[in-house]
């Protein structure tokens, strides 16, 4: 299938070689056409343009002559001239003999950033196109329209970006097409280098080849110096272009792409692998999946599920479009297994220049098949634990412009992933004779918001300053109160927490047998980071110390039934009968008391609505965690009596037996036994009757083994009825009077209690 996208990214070396102006001649038009086409085939695009212009001067109304000039401007990425030429061609070509003219016209507008103008141009192309691959071209036109519409809504980068072209030591007037960072002060890159324009005279020809170079920064860390050929004796073979250098994470394997120049024509590119000893590479070997029928390029090594994998771009059979992203597992000996198509990211267009960062499982790549701002944009997708890829996301303005961006990569040194490089012909590139956007340069890119922030926390004894081993440290988001990280270290007192930028955190340390000492916080908002580090330009870390105090008596309170922590409890500590200290914990269930040694203490816990608990603690046990269990109150039902009687009925005896069992289980429980009557009889008589009823219940409980001092008798006579003694019409209400002839039980030790009326027998 014919590939219509001849940009520097998608054809291995489509960036034109730079030659001098040809010697003028008076040759026949047919000969000029032949020379121009020959120059174009061997990527001598500048000379080709000059010859095509001479042809058009002789045939100003010829559609093909005009197309050749316009198309060559497009190849040179002089989009202003290309737009003008294609617009004139479309007006001239009424019969649409050159169906791709509309495509390149619309592309020229888009690449020049004229988004509102390119949309109708793509629409017009769709309606008129009658060339090859109609469905594919119309699909790609829809993609371009979607990208232009999206670009109009993107007014600023999604994150802060600082992008700069590398200095002229690296970026030459010719072409740089890939950079691999080794830390921040060293890069290995591929480029077409030369200090002057090469002149062709008659049959004399000189070929230039893309080579791989290595460069290091000066001691000041600012300027680049020492640009040298990389492993030249092994890689700089005559007749080949060598590009896309890359290493595995361990820096012991090296991969690159190589394309042969047979005569003046580029042949399909192949990927090679070699060993690397830190200085030189071993003899390269072509990987097994290469084939002369298709191209393989843009190698990049990543890790998937612990397996080393080679990502690359290829137009091999089985793909979705022109070039697709593929990946192949790397064997221990450096050979590769059968490649698999990364279908989740590929389109009917072209995808290339993959880079996988296993630190966040993110794949970066370039494409013209997804909606984008320019000709080629940078995209990203993330792989989850299940091995699935997220929806492809355009990286947005800054990373992308209206022209071409590709080859995005970040440093792989440690956790430094906020600095990297990309390749672009955007404004700021070195440019060439014809146009500011003619050549690709290497740009550095700093992403401050991605710079890692590591907080080192050390836990020490508040009194002695010694290490506290076995502590737990929590990092709490101050704004939300959410615990964002938690670690326990049983080996030493050091903790390392990666933190998100732009937040304030509280550092909370704890350990059983210890209580909080000094409080510590961490501020990762930009002003605080800049104040601490001067600038946000790389990984940052600092140390904070938090302290714990060795605690005395540690107490925790729980619900006896559910065993769940119980908040709101009051805990009292007694030295004999003397109350030493009392604490109420409204939020939380853990108490700490600093007490004298060599004593015995009694600890009690109480909570409204619960039966308390107590425990006697020896001084030697003070530093242990003591757990108190408070019980929800038992449900004591009322005991009912017959009219004018105080003897215990059969049904009431069952109720009293149940109360005796509960009081036996809770030996500290003290109960008030409250007697009542109905309204029949005098007040004085009913007062005496209510006391007899209370005493009858107490006598029964004492017979069951309950100490009399735990039972307090009270009589209330006909006061506090629980039901009306008479109906509304004044008639007697026997049911109501029955409910009023009763004894209630109120738990007064522990401030708990509940009542329920005994059912009638």
Q: Are residues 184 and 82 in the same domain?
A: no
Q: What percentage of the chain exceeds 90 in pLDDT?
A: 64
Q: Is the pLDDT of residue 550 over 90?
A: no
Distance separating alpha carbons of residues 616 and 25, to the nearest angstrom: 114
Distance separating alpha carbons of residues 250 and 119, to the nearest angstrom: 47
Confidence of residue 552 (pLDDT cuts 50, 70, 90): confident
The predicted structure's pLDDT at residue 266: 54
Confidence of residue 18 (pLDDT cuts 50, 70, 90): very low
Confidence of residue 756 (pLDDT cuts 50, 70, 90): very low
Q: How many domains does the chain have?
A: 5
- Classify residue 7: in a domain, yes or no: no
Nearest to 751 by CA among 539, 599, 607: 607
- Classify residue 679: in a domain, yes or no: yes
Q: Give the CATH number for residue 52.
A: 1.25.40.10
Q: What angle do CA 531, 533, 534 make, to 5 degrees?
A: 65
- Classify residue 653: in a domain, yes or no: yes
In three-state form (DSSP H/G/I as H, E/B as E, the rest C), the secondary structure along 501-539 is CCCEEEEEEECCCEEECCCEEEECCHHHHHHHHCCCCCC
Distance separating alpha carbons of residues 31 and 55, to the nearest angstrom: 9
Q: Are residues 390 and 499 in the same domain?
A: no
Confidence of residue 560 (pLDDT cuts 50, 70, 90): confident
Distances (CA, A) of 520 to 149, 465, 549: 49, 15, 14
Confidence of residue 46 (pLDDT cuts 50, 70, 90): confident
Distance separating alpha carbons of residues 490 and 526, to the nearest angstrom: 34
Please name the helix (run of DSSP H) or strand (run of DSSP E) that holds residue 31, with its range, or none.
helix 29-41
Question: What's the domain range around 589?
Answer: 553-630
- Classify residue 5: in a domain, yes or no: no
Q: Give the CATH number for residue 374.
A: 2.115.10.20
Q: Are residues 626 and 706 in the same domain?
A: no
In this prediction, residues 430-436 reach a mean pLDDT of 62
Q: Are residues 465 and 590 in the same domain?
A: no
Q: Is the pLDDT of residue 755 over 70?
A: no
For strands 453-461 and 540-550, give the pairing: parallel
In this prediction, residues 458-480 reach a mean pLDDT of 94
Of the residues 111, 132, 153, the one at which a domain ends: 153
The predicted structure's pLDDT at residue 13: 40
Q: For 572-581, how does the pLDDT look when each residue is reduced to its tens digit (9 = 90+)? A: 999 888 998 9
- Classify residue 416: in a domain, yes or no: yes
Distance separating alpha carbons of residues 651 and 761, to the nearest angstrom: 6
Please name the helix (run of DSSP H) or strand (run of DSSP E) that holds residue 653, with its range, or none.
helix 650-665
Confidence of residue 275 (pLDDT cuts 50, 70, 90): very high
Q: What percentage of the chain exceeds 70 in pLDDT?
A: 90
Distance separating alpha carbons of residues 617 and 552, to the nearest angstrom: 12
Q: For 226-243, how does the pLDDT look when each residue is reduced to its tens digit (9 = 90+)? A: 899 999 888 876 678 899
Side by side, the strands of the sheet bearing 742-747 are 639-640, 742-747, 671-675, 711-715
- Classify residue 19: in a domain, yes or no: no
Cβ 491 vs Cβ 469: under 8 Å: yes
Q: Are residues 509 and 585 in the same domain?
A: no
Confidence of residue 759 (pLDDT cuts 50, 70, 90): very low
Confidence of residue 542 (pLDDT cuts 50, 70, 90): very high
In this prediction, residues 654-660 reach a mean pLDDT of 89
* CB count in 10 Å sphere of residue 448: 19
Q: Is the pLDDT of residue 621 over 80?
A: no
Nearest to 621 by CA among 640, 602, 645: 602
The predicted structure's pLDDT at residue 604: 92
Q: Are residues 477 and 363 in the same domain?
A: no
More confident call, 335 vs 665: 335
Work out the mean pLDDT of the chain and round it to a whole number.
87
Helix, coil or strand: residue 86: helix
The predicted structure's pLDDT at residue 561: 84
The predicted structure's pLDDT at residue 10: 32
Distance separating alpha carbons of residues 391 and 371, to the nearest angstrom: 13
Q: Are residues 611 and 699 in the same domain?
A: no
Q: Which segment, 190-199, 594-603, 659-668, is predicted with the most confidence on average?
A: 659-668
Q: Are residues 127 and 175 in the same domain?
A: no
The predicted structure's pLDDT at residue 127: 93
> What are 302's strand-pairing partners?
309
Q: For 495-538, how does the pLDDT look when each residue is reduced to its tens digit (9 = 90+)? A: 999 999 999 999 999 988 787 878 799 999 999 999 999 999 89
More confident call, 273 vs 665: 273
* Residue 698: Cβ-neighbour burial (10 angstroms; 0-12, 13-18, 19+): buried
Rounded to 10 deg, the angle between the 63-75 and 45-58 helix axes is 160
Q: Are residues 413 and 503 in the same domain?
A: no
Q: Are residues 621 and 659 in the same domain?
A: no
Distance separating alpha carbons of residues 256 and 237, to the nearest angstrom: 13
Cβ 586 vs Cβ 568: under 8 Å: yes
Q: Are residues 284 and 420 in the same domain?
A: yes
Confidence of residue 632 (pLDDT cuts 50, 70, 90): confident
Of the residues 588, 611, 630, the one at which a domain ends: 630
Q: For 668-679, how does the pLDDT look when each residue is reduced to its tens digit (9 = 90+)? A: 889 999 999 999
Q: What angle do CA 509, 511, 515 make, to 5 degrees?
A: 75
In this prediction, residues 634-661 reach a mean pLDDT of 87
More confident call, 8 vs 462: 462
Distances (CA, A) of 346 to 282, 355, 561, 610: 33, 15, 60, 66
The predicted structure's pLDDT at residue 7: 37
Tokens (6 digits) for 566: 């119980």
Of the residues 446, 479, 504, the one at which a domain ends: 446
The predicted structure's pLDDT at residue 422: 96
Q: Give the CATH number for residue 599.
A: 2.60.40.1120
- Classify residue 2: in a domain, yes or no: no
Cβ 389 vs Cβ 381: under 8 Å: yes
Q: Are residues 285 and 214 in the same domain?
A: yes
Instruction: Return the minimum-mean-pLDDT range out of 51-60, 234-243, 339-348, 541-550.
Output: 234-243
Q: Give the CATH number for residue 674.
A: 3.30.1330.60
Distance separating alpha carbons of residues 106 and 169, to the nearest angstrom: 36
> What are 273's strand-pairing partners?
255, 285
* Residue 351: Cβ-neighbour burial (10 angstroms; 0-12, 13-18, 19+): buried
- Classify residue 1: in a domain, yes or no: no
| Stated pTM of the model | 0.70
């Amino acid at each position: 299938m014919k590939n219509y996208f001849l940009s520097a990214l998608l054809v291995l070396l489509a960036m034109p070689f730079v030659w001098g102006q040809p010697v003028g001649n008076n040759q026949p038009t047919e000969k000029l056409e032949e020379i121009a086409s020959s120059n174009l085939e061997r990527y001598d695009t500048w000379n080709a343009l000059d010859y095509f212009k001479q042809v058009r001067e002789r045939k100003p109304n010829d559609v093909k002559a005009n197309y050749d000039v316009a198309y060559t401007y497009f190849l040179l990425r002089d989009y202003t001239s290309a737009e003008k030429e294609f617009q004139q061609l479309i007006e001239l070509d009424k019969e649409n003999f050159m169906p791709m003219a509309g495509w390149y016209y619309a592309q020229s507008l888009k690449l020049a950033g004229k988004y509102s103008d390119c949309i109708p141009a793509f629409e017009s192309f769709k309606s008129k196109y009658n060339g090859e691959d109609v469905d594919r071209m119309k699909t790609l036109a829809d993609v371009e329209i979607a990208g232009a519409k999206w670009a109009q809504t993107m007014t600023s980068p999604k994150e802060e970006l600082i992008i700069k072209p590398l200095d002229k030591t690296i970026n030459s007037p010719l072409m740089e097409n890939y950079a691999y960072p080794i830390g921040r002060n060293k890069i290995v890159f591929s480029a077409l280098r030369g200090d002057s324009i090469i002149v062709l005279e008659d049959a004399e020809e000189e070929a230039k080849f893309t080579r791989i170079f290595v460069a290091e920064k000066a001691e000041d860390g600012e300027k680049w110096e020492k640009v040298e050929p990389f492993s030249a004796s092994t890689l700089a073979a005559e007749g080949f272009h060598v590009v896309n250098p890359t290493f595995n994470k361990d820096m012991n394997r090296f991969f690159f792409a190589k394309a042969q120049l047979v005569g003046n024509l580029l042949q399909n590119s192949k990927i090679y692998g070699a060993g690397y000893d830190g200085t030189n590479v071993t003899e390269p070997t072509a990987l097994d999946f290469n084939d002369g029928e298709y191209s393989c390029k843009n190698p990049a090594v990543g890790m998937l599920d612990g397996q080393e994998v080679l990502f690359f771009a290829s137009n091999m059979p089985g793909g979705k479009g022109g070039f697709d992203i593929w990946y192949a597992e790397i064997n221990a000996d450096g050979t590769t297994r059968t490649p698999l198509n990364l279908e989740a990211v590929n389109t009917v267009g072209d995808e290339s220049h993959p880079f996988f960062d296993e630190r966040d499982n993110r794949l970066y790549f370039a494409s013209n098949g997804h909606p984008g701002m320019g000709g080629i944009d940078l995209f990203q997708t993330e792989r989850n634990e299940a091995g699935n890829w997220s929806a492809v996301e355009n990286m947005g303005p800054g990373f992308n412009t209206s022209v071409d961006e590709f080859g995005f990569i970040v440093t792989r040194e440690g956790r430094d992933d906020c600095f990297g490089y990309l390749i672009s012909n955007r404004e700021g590139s070195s440019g060439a004779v014809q146009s500011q956007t003619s050549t690709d340069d290497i740009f550095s890119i700093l992403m401050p918001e991605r710079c890692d922030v590591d907080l080192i926390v050390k836990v020490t004894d508040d009194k002695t300053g010694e290490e506290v081993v076995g502590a737990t440290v929590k990092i709490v988001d101050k704004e939300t109160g959410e615990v964002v990280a938690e670690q326990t270290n049983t080996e030493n007192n050091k903790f390392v927490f990666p933190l998100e930028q732009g937040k304030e955190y509280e550092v909370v340390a704890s350990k059983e047998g210890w209580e909080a000492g000094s409080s510590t916080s961490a501020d990762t908002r930009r002003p605080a980071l800049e104040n601490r580090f001067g600038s946000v330009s790389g990984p940052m870390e600092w140390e904070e110390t938090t302290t714990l105090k060795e605690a005395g008596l540690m107490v925790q309170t729980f619900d006896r039934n559910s065993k769940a922590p119980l908040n709101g409890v009051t805990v009292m500590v007694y030295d004999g009968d003397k109350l030493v200290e009392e604490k109420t914990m409204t939020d939380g269930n853990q108490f700490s008391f600093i007490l004298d040694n060599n004593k015995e203490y009694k600890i009690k816990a109480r909570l409204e609505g619960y039966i308390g608990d107590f425990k006697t603690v020896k001084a030697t046990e003070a530093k242990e965690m003591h757990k108190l269990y408070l019980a929800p109150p038992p449900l004591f039902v009322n005991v009912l009596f017959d009219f004018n009687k105080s003897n215990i009925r059969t049904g009431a005896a069952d109720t009293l037996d149940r109360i005796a069992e509960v009081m036996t289980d809770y030996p500290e429980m003290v109960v008030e036994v409250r007697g009542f009557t109905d309204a029949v009889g005098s007040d004085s008589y009913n007062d005496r009757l209510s006391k007899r009823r209370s005493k009858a219940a107490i006598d029964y409980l004492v017979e069951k083994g309950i100490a009399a001092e735990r039972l307090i008798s009270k009589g209330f006579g006909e006061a506090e009825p629980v039901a009306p003694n008479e109906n509304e019409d004044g008639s007697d209400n026997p049911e109501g009077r029955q409910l009023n002839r009763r004894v209630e039980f109120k738990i007064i030790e522990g401030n708990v209690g509940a009542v329920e009326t005994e059912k009638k027998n």
